[in-house]
Amino acid sequence: MTMKTRFAPSPTGLLHIGGARTALFSWLHAKKNNGTFVLRIEDTDLERSTPESVAAILEGMQWLGLDYDEGPYYQTQRFDRYEEIIQQLLDQGDAYYCYCSKEEIDALREQQMANKEKPRYNGKCRDSAAEQEGMNRVVRFRNPEAGEVVLDDLVKGKIVVANKELDDLIIARTDGSPTYNLTVVVDDMDMGITDVIRGDDHVNNTPRQMNILKALDAELPRYAHLPMILGDDGARLSKRHGAVGVMQFRDDGYLPEALLNYIVRLGWSYGDQEVFTLEQMIELFDISKVNVSASAFNTEKLTWLNHQYIMNSEPELVAEHLEWHMQQRGIDAATQGPALVDIVIAQRERSKTLVEMADASVYFYQDFNEYDEKAAKKNFKQGTDEVLQALLDAFKSVSEWQGSDLHDIVLQTAEQLELKLGKVAQPLRVAVCGTGMSPSIDVTLALLGRDKTLSRIQQAIDYIKENKY
């Protein structure tokens, strides 16, 4: 039988890190075993599900590169099938109508909690054959009262739950709509899901779902429940730890490959290896090696890893992602300046994120009228205009604009003026970039090009004279 996994998010918000890890682990498990990966949108919560959340999930999956073999399937398109299964369970005697009011159930639970008992439905309607007309009713699954459920969890190991600990859960609401525990069972059964990988907040649901599958005479999938992700302070991951939508990481300048690499290490490891290509992840990933204990999210480590990817990935790949960030700054790199591949090569050593790289590269594409105050004060002094004028005259005589030739001119000008190299190169850098930080001066000038370099040097000369440095 072909292995089949699924990622089944509820579209009630953004795709977060926990969901992205579940998707990645399910995707890797399928890829490693030549299986099929399914995307299913569990949108039966009509009050909370939104088209915007669906779009956010699909965008996040696409950005991460987690391509799915089937789907996306939408539960709201399968209500007829759920109704059919609910009726089947009623006909088999594995489900029954419950007429207990919400007030009755609330009172029952309050009494049980007061008695320090586990809150659960007491089975009042379980053996009542009479139907009551005109009354609201739900449908409950008739959970076995004897025996036990044995779950051989691929991560947590063997889990045994006595059936007497499980109450008769609701599988259809008063309006006839199916509940999560019913829809997920039907979908997994109909779609032939063999391996269910999900967060450990579903552990309590699994024995109930297994009993419904048994009542339907369906094949039981293998289950793997992933431990939660914590912040680096040990608290449950929240927005203050970076528990934001996946696309926020794109906005913050992280490469999807770096984020995937970081996520795969949240609960799984392979020796001391920190950096994995996607091919290595597929080859080495083993769901049974996932840690049982919770993992901590650390933004500093993610940023370190992102820097490794920026430095060591193919420049063309990094440039593809950098282009989006330049566009956010109103820059069309194809028409306004140097190729982004060249920018990546020039800036990758000093840029931990693509946001840093983009911010530090704007001057290559957009002219400016102001200079960094500290840089100008430090480097624009009396006589600097004469240094820049000497450079400008020399650069005007260059026929081919190449970095090595430009560097030689800077060196020769320093020698002719009997100045240290920094007294020439640094004012030049501020003049052409507006700031005191840039790649090496020859690379900077080559990327800027002849026209931008000459006009900006002239602008700096005029600025220095006007401000009487």
Active site residues: 239
Q: Which has the closest alpha carbon to 186: 68, 42, 43, 81?
A: 81
Residue type, 369: N
| Direct distance between the N- and C-terminal alpha carbons of the chain, in angstroms, rounded to an integer | 80
- Between strands 36-41 and 4-7, the pairing is parallel
Residue 193 CA to residue 30 CA, distance in Å, equals 11
> Helix, strand or coil for residue 128?
coil
Supply the Cα-derived Rg of the chain in whole angstroms: 32
Strand partners, 141: 95
Concatenated DSSP letters for 131-182?
Answer: --TTS--EEEE---SSSEEEEEETTTEEEEEEGGGS---EEE-TTSPBPHHH
Strand partners, 224: 197
What token pair was written down for 386?
């004469």
**246, 10 contact by CB (below 8 A):** no
**213, 101 contact by CB (below 8 A):** no
CA torsion sign, 401 to 402 to 403 to 407? negative
Would you call 318 exposed, middle or buried from its count of C-beta atoms within 10 A (0-12, 13-18, 19+)? Answer: buried
Q: How far is CA 348 from CA 274, 275, 319, 355, 446, in A?
A: 20, 17, 11, 12, 17
* Continuous segment of H or E residues that includes residue 36: strand 36-41
Would you call 434 exposed, middle or buried from its count of C-beta atoms within 10 A (0-12, 13-18, 19+)? Answer: buried
Q: Which has the closest alpha carbon to 260: 277, 284, 238?
A: 277
Strand partners, 7: 39
- Between strands 4-7 and 148-153, the pairing is unpaired
**66, 24 contact by CB (below 8 A):** yes
DSSP 218: P
> Helix, strand or coil for residue 438?
coil
What token pair was written down for 98?
């419950």
